[in-house]
Amino acid sequence: MPQYMLLIYIDPASSPAPDSPEGRQVSADYGTFTEDIRDRGMFVSGAPLQTTESATTVRVNGTGDAMLSDGPFAETKEWLAGYYLIDCPDLDTATEQAARIPAARHGAIEVRPVMELEGA
């Protein structure tokens, strides 16, 4: 079955604070969503990510040296906050599931098919 990566992008400025009533509801909604896709046999993996302040970006220059910089690779108000990797039959099903992710209400969910590599 094909796999799809559901990348969760949020704008921290417009997202509810985790300790607010709305933030606690969003957390509960994530639990409900995760339990549902587990029950459907779609869940492969998923996790929230730490903030962009903890990110390190790696680039290799023309001489082969690794160059490290603090933070994400691009300045943007939205940042990658987490992901789900799911097994499902098609893109339509993947986008239906993406629309159910709580962050879709105040951010964006990018749906990307995972490449199937022969012999991997």
pLDDT at 52: 82
Architecture per CATH, domain 3-113, reads as 2-Layer Sandwich (3.30)
pLDDT digit string, tens, across residues 61-90? 899 999 888 876 555 677 899 999 999 999
pLDDT digit string, tens, across residues 11-39? 888 888 889 999 999 999 999 999 999 99
Domain map (residue ranges) of the chain? 3-113
d(CA 18, CA 29): 13
Q: What angle do CA 50, 39, 1 make, to 5 degrees?
A: 85
pTM over 0.75, yes/no: yes
> Could you give the C-alpha distances from 109 to 51, 54, 78, 82, in angstroms and in order?
17, 21, 11, 10
Tracing tokens 């082969």 back to the chain, one arrives at 64
